[in-house]
Amino acid sequence: MGCAELNWNTLDQKDPFPCISVEVMNSSDVIERWRALGLHCPEPCAVMALIDTGASTTVISKTFANYCKLFQTGEGSVFTTLAGLAVCGEHAGAISFPGTSLRPINSLRIVSADFKWERYYSCLIGRDVFTELAHDLRRAAKADIN
């Protein structure tokens, strides 16, 4: 089970946190097949991500999804935000948390959307990631009980 420590000043409205550095890339299955075909695969790139308990799924900016060449597996998903409805693409990606002991997630549906105003982050970590990491917690608890 992993751990990440995040500090932020809740009284400072300019403090954009809670953010965490993440690396987003294609899942290892996709990368292996690309390499077998001799196709170029971009190196993982670290970006800041907002820990967003209000997001049901993980979202990255479309620009970043294109940069990472994330393998697309869908389109047209509808999201509702404070600004209204947004239509997004869906990608198969992997996500890791450099500088923490959190387990990387190798295969995750990630949606891409236009990030118009955000200056500090290009990814929202949604509840799907928390659910995935919570499985580790449950497994560890079960192992302790047994």
- Residues of the shown chain interacting with another protein in the complex, contacts defined by CB under 8 A: 27, 29-30, 33-34, 37, 39, 52-57, 59, 71-82, 85-86, 90, 92, 107-109, 111, 124, 126
Looking at the Cβ atoms of 99 and 134, the one nearer to another protein is 134
> Identity (one letter) of the amino acid at 70?
L
Whose Cβ is closer to another protein: residue 53's or residue 63's? 53
Q: What is the distance between the alpha carbons of residues 103 and 95, in angstroms, rounded to a whole number?
A: 9
Question: Rounded to the nearest whole angstrom, what is the least distance from the CB of residue 12 to another protein in the complex?
Answer: 19
In the complex with another protein, the residue whose CB is nearer, 29 or 99, is: 29
User: Which of 36/145 has CB closer to another protein?
Assistant: 36
**What's the gap between Cα 87 and its chain centre?**
18
| CA gap 31, 37 in Å, rounded | 10
Cβ 90 to another protein shortest distance, Å: 8
Helix residue ranges, H only, 37-126: 62-67
Residue 82 C-beta: closest distance to another protein, Å: 8
Helices (H) and strands (E) in the chain, counts: 3, 7
CA distances 23 to 13, 101, 104, Å, are 26, 14, 9
